[in-house]
Amino acid sequence: MSDNTSAPKKLLDIVAVRCAANIDTPAKLLSELTECAVDGRAKAFYSATGVPVGYLVWAMVNRESFILLSKTRQMPAHAYEWCEGRLMIVHDVMVLSEWSAVVNPAIRYFLKQKRFVAFFRRGRLHVWSKLKGRFNRTIF
């Protein structure tokens, strides 16, 4: 668990981005976003004036949870499973459309620092893993 003194600010920034995009936040998703912000698994992106314009939220799962995730296509059910490993699963990403040209490269740079990144896109699991400094892509 990381320093959670900025957890309330991160959560407020995430909610501010969702409100600016006029997107509904169901209770289950808000609970997941809160857990990620408290555990330090959330990153907000800001404009030059300090206004939140995007965010990235992820889970760090172990190998068993990832294998189950690849078979069931669902995130782990329990909150403790979201922070028990070293495999990064992107849970939620949102960028305000007018800021995508600025924030998307920052998100890519952040993800390239990781060794293993997986995410769902259009119902398929995409996996990027770094081997000898080079990324390999797999689609399940």
pLDDT tens sequence across 84-116: 889 999 999 999 999 999 999 999 999 888 889
Query: Does 11 fall in a domain?
Result: yes
CB 139 within 8 A of CB 126: yes
Query: Does 51 fall in a domain?
Result: yes
Q: What is the pLDDT of residues 6-36, one digit of tens each?
A: 788 999 999 999 999 999 999 999 999 999 9
Measured distance CA(120)–CA(11) in Å, rounded = 23
CATH of the domain at 32: 3.40.630.30
In the chain, the amino acid numbered 121 is: R
Query: Does 1 fall in a domain?
Result: no
Number of structural domains in the chain: 1
Query: Does 135 fall in a domain?
Result: yes
CA distances from residue 105 to 8, 16, 58, 111 in whole angstroms, order as listed: 26, 21, 18, 10
Q: What is the pTM of this model?
A: 0.85
Q: Quick one: which of 47, 49, 54, 48 has its CA closest to 10?
A: 54
Q: Which domain holds residue 19?
A: 7-139
Query: Does 2 fall in a domain?
Result: no
